[in-house]
Amino acid sequence: MSISKNWEQTYWEDEQGNRTTIQEVLEDLHDSPVISLEVASVAHLRRTTTEPDRKEKADLSFPIIVTAKDGKFQSILDGNHRLQKAIDKGETRISAKILKATNLGE
């Protein structure tokens, strides 16, 4: 799966070339509830950030997007900087929306 770097143009592409854009994901999740997740339950999924400015500007009131499959969290689709900020601040919970991995063709 590949991921582009420009947020507005973010997309995920599977091995068959099927693309899902961030706009499509956000539309799919529009009516999904925001839940409170334990930071520890998803901390191991975050990607290391090399952009401290983005982390510092991250708005923790905006939910992260976590993919799940078969009841297990698979990845942080959106919100790595927010998650890192929450970890650095010692937060124990973070707002999230859950996207079933099958919605991305996984």
Say what the pLDDT of residue 1 is: 40
The tokens describing 67, both together, are 């993919």
Total domains in the fold of the chain: 1
What CATH number is attached to the domain comprising 89?
Answer: 3.90.1530
Neighbours of 77 (CB within 10 A): 24
More confident residue, 38 or 51: 38
The pTM of the whole model exceeds 0.85 = no
Question: What mean pLDDT is reported for the chain?
Answer: 84
Residue-wise pLDDT tens digits, 72-89: 999 898 899 999 999 999
In which domain, by residue range, is 53 found? 2-104
